[in-house]
Structure formats: C-alpha cells, structure tokens
Amino acid sequence: MSAYRITNVRIFDGTGREPFAGEVLVDGPRIAAVTASGDARSRHDAAPPDATVIDGRGGMLMPGLVEAHAHLSFPDLFADAITRLPVEEHMLITVRNARTMLDCGYTSAFSAASAKTRLDVVLKREIEAARAPGPRLLANGPEITVTGGLGDTNALHLPYDEAPTFCWIANGPDDVRRVARTLAREGVDLLKLNISGDGGTSSAGADVTVMTDAEIEAAMEVARPRNLRVAGHCRSAGSVMAALAHGVEVIYHANYSDERALDALEAARDRIFVAPAIGHTWSLAEYGVSMGIPAKRAQAAADELAYCADTYSRMRKRGIRVLPGGDYGFPTSPHGAYAKDLELFVDLLGFSPMETLIAATHHGGEMMGKPGELGLVTAGALADLLLVDGDPLADITILQDRAKLSMIMKDGAIHAARRAHTA
C-alpha cells in the first residue's frame, strides 16, 4: 500500500484545536503521524523511504466531510418522477451521484434512504470492492412510512402501490416488522422511519406524529438483534419524544421541538445525533415556486425555516450534536450542492465556522460509528483527508468550490489531486 508525506500545510484536526502548521504521514489506509512544524525533522526521519511527498502549498489539510443526510439514489427529480425511473437507469444515476459526492470532498455518507430497495446496498458493495468511486457508505432502504404519511402519494381511484415513491408503506406493528425484516435480509445497515408528517406533502403536516409507539417499537425489535442503526424523520415535538423513547439514534429535522423535546434530546445527547437537513428546506423556500413547486409546499418550507434558527441555536447551546446534511437530490437542491449546508449552518443557524466544521467532520465520524478513527486528523485515524486551497474557517463557502479542493484522499488513496504538488 502507498505511503504519503503531506507537507507545507495548516492542519485542522477536527478536535476544536486551532489550525497549526505541520505535516502528516499516511501509511496505507491510516494516518501514521501528525507533526507540528517544530517537530518536522523527526517526522521526516520516520517516513518510509518510498513515501510520496505531497506539497500542500500552504493549504488547509482537514478531515474529509461527512454527509449526515444522504440520498445518493435521489436523481434530482421530484418524488413522483423518482418512481418512474427504471431500476437499470436508476442504478447508473446512483453510481454517478456517489462519484459526485466524493468529488465534492465528502468521503463518508450516512444514508437517509434509498429510492429503491437495493440501490444503496449494491452501491456500497461496489465502492467497498473499489469498482466504483464514492464515499464510505452506510446503506439504507426506502423510508418506512404509514398510510397518509410522508411519501404516500397513492390516490384512491388508482391501483394501490406499497412503494409509490422513496417510501415503503406499512401499517401496524406486524406490517412494519415484515418490511424491516425484508430490508435487513437485503443487506441494509440502517432503517429509517417516517414518524412525523411533513409540510405540504401528505395528509399529515409537519406538526403531526403519524407513527404509533407500537409501530416504532416493532422496527426496533427487528433492528436491535441485527445491529441495524435506526433514524427517524421527526419534525414534530411528539415524534422526537417517541423516537427517543424507543431508542432511535438519529433524529432528522426536529424543527418543532418544544422545551420538553429539547430537554429529552439534551438528556440523550451522548447517544443521539440531530441532522436538520436544512439545505432542502431552504431551497424549497427560496426556489420552490419558480421551479414548479406548489405554493403551499414552498410556504410550508418557509414556515419551518422561521423556527429553525431558534430551535437549532438552542440545541447547540445544550451540547446536542447537530450535523450538516441537507437532503440533496431534488431539483431545488441537486447533487453537488452539499456544502451549501455548511454556509447555512453559519449564516442561518448561528454556528461558528469552527463549530460547523467540527460537526461535519468529528461528529460525522461518530455518527458513522467510527469515533476516534474517522473525522479527525490524528495518528491512527483513517486517512480520509481533504486539502483545501484556502481557509474555510475564514470563508466557509470555499468548500462549495470544487476547484479549491486541491486533494481528496479516502482510505489513504488519492481520489483527486488538482493543485497539490506531488514529488
């Protein structure tokens, strides 16, 4: 396996420490050593003689970014159109989206749902076998929803479809168990439950909790012995409380968390993660009507945004891990725009650039199930690295410019090297 000495860089290590000048030795898939400039001589002596030297030219070396709410199989189409894609074309689109995400400096992705049952699973296997480029991936299946919940686009006068969009409809605990077992059989790492409704998209609004305790617990009964992680679409305060009560680990959205829900999130902060998926909500409010979204849906998104700044600011102050990840894969929020979420964390939600980058790297590594070895630039960590031509702590929007990503490394292998000098 290859070894690299990455020199002449400022290092953002993901811990909260201020960036420092130094160099990093990568040996195989892991970081062998991180050395501040004053100790560079000893680091040079310890490097393998055949190590390739990469001159970072003063750029910032940081952990690869983690997308906490990924939909790699969403094809930049609206929900109804997703279903009409034949699976063959859909798989190819999914593979291309995976490459796009890695090209954008996102070396890990926690899937928030696959548009068809096996798209994530097949993609993950191809990436791990090095047959397709993409982020390290935790694979999901379609979102499990209830009749009238988010994703149920059935109409009474048309033939019923159990999976009409990116969701699989299940009613009652036995039906939820059947669907969860099927997804487990097909090889997913994750399950996602649509515990609340959503703004302007179903018979149940964002403030309504649509899934029962018995249905949530049925999914958890399948997940626990199989070591599957569970995420919940939880906009309402009631859905947040229900998810926490049953051990759901990843809480998506949580826009309408009241004081009781915030207290419960804080009490569980060492085991849970919150991902607002603010990018999609912002884009619907900003561009929805001009792109043919019904005015009701765009207004619902704008109404949710009005709650966001206060809700997530309070979560931040309570020490709850809030992660960027923006529900990308729709016409208003297409693939490749992932780093817009980082800008929104700073400009809309009140996070500092340092807090935002820690959330997108260090906390992302914890969410991926690899605390201490992913999302950090430290000895022993996995060598998922991003070299930036500039300082994202001074200008967080620089991470939206792919031309500024001088080098992208995953598992100690260079995916892209644009301006870094290799010798």
Between the CA of residue 294 and those of 100, 167, 289, 298, 326, what are the distances in Å? 29, 21, 6, 7, 21
Model confidence at 306: pLDDT above 70: yes
pLDDT, one tens digit per residue, over 283-300 is 999 998 988 888 888 888
DSSP 389-400: SS-TTT-GGGGG
Assess whether 274 and 414 both reside in one domain: no
Instruction: Answer with the one of 344, 367, 390 that is the final residue of a domain.
Output: 367
Mean pLDDT of the chain: 94
Spacing of C-alpha 386 from chain mean position: 17
pLDDT, one tens digit per residue, over 226-239 is 999 999 999 999 99
Side-chain half-sphere of 282: how many Cα atoms within 13 Å? 23
Tell me the one-letter amino acid at 71.
Answer: H
Q: What is the mean pLDDT of residues 375-402?
A: 98
Assess whether 69 and 146 both reside in one domain: yes
CATH code, domain with 388: 2.30.40.10
Neighbours of 171 (CB within 10 A): 15
Instruction: Single out the residue of 398, 382, 197 nearest to residue 300, CA to CA.
Output: 197
Assess whether 285 and 403 both reside in one domain: no
Position 48 scores a pLDDT of 82
Assess whether 177 and 213 both reside in one domain: yes
Assess whether 329 and 274 both reside in one domain: yes
Binned at pLDDT 50, 70 and 90, residue 62 comes out as very high
Assess whether 96 and 242 both reside in one domain: yes
Instruction: Answer with the one of 349, 367, 385 that is the final residue of a domain.
Output: 367
Binned at pLDDT 50, 70 and 90, residue 46 comes out as low
Instruction: Answer with the one of 346, 367, 388 that is the final residue of a domain.
Output: 367
Tokens found for residue 206: 């964002």
Binned at pLDDT 50, 70 and 90, residue 47 comes out as confident
Binned at pLDDT 50, 70 and 90, residue 208 comes out as very high
Count of structural domains, the chain: 2
Assess whether 159 and 241 both reside in one domain: yes
Position 73 scores a pLDDT of 98
Model confidence at 279: pLDDT above 70: yes
pTM of the model: 0.95
Between the CA of residue 275 and those of 52, 251, 388, what are the distances in Å? 38, 6, 25
Tell me the one-letter amino acid at 307.
Answer: Y
Assess whether 310 and 382 both reside in one domain: no
**Nearest-angstrom CA–CA distance, 36 and 380:** 16
Instruction: Single out the residue of 410, 345, 358 nearest to residue 104, CA to CA.
Output: 410
Boundaries of domain holding 9: 3-62+375-422
pLDDT, one tens digit per residue, over 68-118 is 999 999 999 988 788 889 999 999 999 999 999 999 999 999 999 999 999
Position 354 scores a pLDDT of 98
Position 421 scores a pLDDT of 57
Binned at pLDDT 50, 70 and 90, residue 120 comes out as very high
Assess whether 31 and 171 both reside in one domain: no
Assess whether 79 and 159 both reside in one domain: yes
Tell me the one-letter amino acid at 365.
Answer: G
Strand pairing of 405-410 and 413-417? antiparallel
CATH code, domain with 238: 3.20.20.140
pLDDT, one tens digit per residue, over 11-44 is 999 999 999 999 999 999 999 999 999 765 555 5
Assess whether 173 and 44 both reside in one domain: no
Tokens found for residue 247: 């051990």
Assess whether 45 and 136 both reside in one domain: no
Tell me the one-letter amino acid at 210.
Answer: V
